[in-house]
Amino acid sequence: MAGHWALMNTPLGPIRVTWDAGKLTAVDLEPAPAVAGGAPAVPGAFARALDAYFEDGAYRFDLSLRLAGTTFQQEVWGALRAIPPGRTLTYGQVAHELRTSPRAVGGACRANPCPIVIPCHRVVGAHGLGGFGGDLSGRKLTVKRWLLGHEGARLPG
pLDDT tens digit sequence for 93-106: 999 999 999 999 99
- pLDDT reported for residue 97: 97
- pLDDT reported for residue 144: 95
- pLDDT reported for residue 56: 97
Q: Across-strand partners of 8?
A: 15
Compute the C-alpha angle 98/100/103, nearest 5°: 120
- Measure Cα distances from 110 to 38, 46, 48, 70, 77 in Å: 25, 22, 26, 13, 11
- pLDDT reported for residue 63: 96
Q: Is the pLDDT of residue 121 over 90?
A: yes
- Any idea where the domains of the chain sit in the sequence? 4-55, 71-150
Decide: 27 and 115 in contact? Cβ < 8 Å.
Answer: yes
- Measure Cα distances from 133 to 20, 37, 52, 62 in Å: 23, 26, 23, 22
Active site residue 114: no
CATH architecture of 71-150: Orthogonal Bundle (1.10)
Which is the catalytic residue, given 120, 129, 143, 153?
120
- What is the tens place of the pLDDT at every residue in 39-95? 678 889 999 999 999 999 999 999 999 999 999 999 999 999 999 999 999 999 999
